[in-house]
Amino acid sequence: MQEASDPQQLETLKHELDAAQVYHWSEVEAFARVFYKLPAKQMAQDHARMQRHLQPAVDRFKALENDDQRSEFREKLKGFVHIYSFLSQVIPYGDPVLEMLYSFGRLLLPHLPLEGETERVKLGDEVDLEYYRLQRVYSGEIDLNEGDSEGVKSPTDVGTGKAKEDKAPLSEIIEVLNERFGTNFSEEDRLFFEQIKEKAVKNPKFIDTALSNPLDKFQLGIRKLLESLMIERLGENDDIVTRYMEDGAFQGAAFPILAKEIFDKIQANAGRQSIEQIVAAGESNTVEFKSTLRVNLHTGQNDPKMEQSALKTIAAFLNSREGGTLVIGVNDDGVALGVETDKFPNEDKMNLHLGNLIKTRLGTGSMLNIKPHFESFQEKRVLVVDCAASGVPVYYKDGKEEEFYIRAGASTAALPPSEMNTYIKQRFL
């Protein structure tokens, strides 16, 4: 052990949890009588019976006086479950009381309101327990050979641990699915998801859909394709595939994560960047941020100058050799404000408004090189306008006047006629 692991922590935590009176021990015992039934005697209605024994504790938890009390109880219960899970692997526990509280607490936790948790992957509280599985993972002795030792980290004080950064998303989803659904999916199951992803990113239908659509449209287009991939590999992991196809809540939790993994990998293989990567890199010759499309943040009113600024940037990207990306709903510091600031009734209305502006000011033909789409960023919706380099000069029309814009570093600049002709010859002819 790299640090001392004190089994007495379990007794201390149990005493403190009992004292909180969120659960009554009779409820724990009643739950255990259902949970530990022999597989041959388990019935479909057992799920409802276990839920009935959990619900009084949920109600008492919600009735606690303040958030601090709820947070303290939840952290102690979570600590008890994690410590017991760890110690039971290295110490041959024979205490049925601790075992019952562990199983009861493990399935109670997902039903407690989540206050201020910071996991990157969150599955909603609406996911209910529908299945449970008892499985012996290992039985036998562990041989400890002589030689250099490798440390095993033990749990210390409850609530003092920090989540590891940069955990692989598919590892996280396995962990969260296990916690939410009471499953025992393993590294082998994670590798199955990885294999599905690798198969998808090489599939021409997935690739075409990813490169032609934003993430939300990609998800709509590949749901049936992904189900087909799952069914093809039924023999490799019957548990995952059957659960995915038959359990809507389970599929609803796993699909968005897996779809985004596939989408990001295809985009990366094609040399494209995700919205997170684009914003993190900052404004440049090919990237610009706009807080809004039409609303002046200082006045709170629609301002034609805001629209003009966005359109001039689009024209400059079209006239450049590389094209570019305009992100609307993100300020200069890379912080998402969201498209709701522009006060459109919905995203379709905003997209239609932008399209009409482009046709009026830049010409209908320029729409062939412009692909606007909405994406989620920092829990906000933003409008991403991808502009491919145009094959002909694009002019910004201001009444009877026409102006020609290019990118100059991280800004947009108008070229005077004397410089415009030279640029057009070099760029387009």
- The answer to the question of residue 20 being in a domain is yes
pLDDT at 65: 82
**Domain identity same for 413 and 346:** yes
Bridging pattern class, strands 295-296 and 370-377? unpaired
**Domain identity same for 266 and 288:** no
**Domain identity same for 259 and 294:** no
Q: What 3-state class would DSSP assign to 78? A: helix
- pLDDT at position 357 over 80: yes
Q: For residue 267, which phi and psi values (nearest 5 degrees)? A: -60, -45
Cβ atoms within 10 A of the Cβ of 171, count?
15
Q: For residue 238, which phi and psi values (nearest 5 degrees)? A: -60, -40
- pLDDT at position 290 over 50: yes
Helix, strand, coil shares of the chain, percent, nearest 5, are 55, 10, 35
pLDDT at 159: 47
Mean pLDDT of 352-356: 96
Last residue of a domain, one of 96, 114, 132: 114
Mean pLDDT of 357-367: 95
**Domain identity same for 176 and 291:** no
Residues 177, 131: contact at Cβ < 8 Å? no
Cα atoms found within 13 Å of the Cα of residue 22, Cβ hemisphere only: 29
What does the alpha-carbon distance between residue 261 and residue 274 come to, in Å, rounded to a whole number? 11
Tokens of 29: 């015992």
| Helix (H) / strand (E) containing 381 | strand 380-387
pLDDT at 236: 82
CA trace torsion 136, 139, 145, 147 (10° rounding): 20
Mean pLDDT of 194-217: 90
- pTM for the full predicted model: 0.52
**Domain identity same for 243 and 281:** no
**Domain identity same for 288 and 407:** yes
Q: Return the CATH number at 398.
A: 3.30.950.30
What does the alpha-carbon distance between residue 71 and residue 79 come to, in Å, rounded to a whole number? 12
**Domains in the chain: how many in total?**
3
Q: Which of 43-47, 130-134, 211-215 has the highest mean pLDDT?
A: 211-215
User: CA dist 285 to 358, 408, 411, Å?
Assistant: 21, 7, 7
Q: In what order do the strands lie in the sheet with 380-387?
A: 287-290, 324-328, 380-387, 370-377
pLDDT, one tens digit per residue, over 12-30 is 888 999 999 999 999 999 9
**Domain identity same for 184 and 286:** no
**Domain identity same for 358 and 418:** yes
| 371 bridge partner residues | 386
pLDDT at 315: 96
pLDDT at 99: 86
Q: What 3-state class would DSSP assign to 287? A: strand
- Integer-rounded Cα Rg, in Å, for the chain is 28
User: CA dist 410 to 289, 332, 369, 396, 426, Å?
Assistant: 10, 11, 21, 19, 21
DSSP classification of residue 90: T
- pLDDT at position 118 over 50: no
* CA 236 and chain centroid, separation: 26
Tokens of 101: 């509280």
Last residue of a domain, one of 272, 290, 308: 272
- The answer to the question of residue 281 being in a domain is yes
pLDDT, one tens digit per residue, over 364-421 is 999 999 999 998 899 899 999 999 999 999 999 988 899 999 999 889 999 998 899 9
Q: Which of 65-79, 138-152, 237-251, 368-382 has the lowest mean pLDDT?
A: 138-152
Q: What 3-state class would DSSP assign to 12? A: helix
pLDDT at 128: 42
**What is the percent of the chain with per-residue pLDDT over 90, rounded to a whole number?**
43
**Domain identity same for 384 and 400:** yes
- pLDDT at position 349 over 90: yes
- The answer to the question of residue 397 being in a domain is yes
- The answer to the question of residue 122 being in a domain is no
CA trace torsion 309, 310, 312, 316 (10° rounding): 130
Look-up: residue for tokens 């393993």? Answer: 186
Bridging pattern class, strands 401-408 and 411-414? antiparallel
pLDDT at 291: 96
- The answer to the question of residue 359 being in a domain is yes
pLDDT, one tens digit per residue, over 124-166 is 443 444 444 444 444 555 455 555 455 545 555 554 444 444 4
What does the alpha-carbon distance between residue 287 and residue 279 come to, in Å, rounded to a whole number? 8
Residues 402, 414: contact at Cβ < 8 Å? no
Q: What is the largest CA-CA distance in the chain?
A: 89
- The answer to the question of residue 78 being in a domain is yes
Q: Looking at this protein, which amino acid is placed at residue 62?
A: K
Tokens of 137: 């993972």
| Mean pLDDT, the chain, integer | 83
pLDDT at 154: 52
- pLDDT at position 110 over 70: yes
More confident residue, 256 or 176: 256
More confident residue, 116 or 59: 59
Q: What 3-state class would DSSP assign to 113? A: coil
DSSP classification of residue 366: G
**Domain identity same for 313 and 392:** yes
User: CA dist 176 to 171, 261, 339, 400, Å?
Assistant: 9, 16, 31, 60
pLDDT at 140: 53
Last residue of a domain, one of 218, 252, 272: 272
- The answer to the question of residue 158 being in a domain is no
pLDDT, one tens digit per residue, over 301-324 is 999 999 999 999 999 999 999 999
Confidence of residue 112 (pLDDT cuts 50, 70, 90): confident
Per the structure, the complete domain to which residue 189 belongs is given by: 169-272
* Contact residues for 167 (Cβ-Cβ < 8 A; gap 6+): 120
**Domain identity same for 282 and 268:** no
Q: Which of 46-55, 173-182, 399-408 has the lowest mean pLDDT?
A: 173-182
- The answer to the question of residue 144 being in a domain is no
Cβ atoms within 10 A of the Cβ of 397, count?
14
pLDDT at 129: 43
Cα atoms found within 13 Å of the Cα of residue 103, Cβ hemisphere only: 22
Residues 222, 209: contact at Cβ < 8 Å? yes
**Domain identity same for 292 and 252:** no
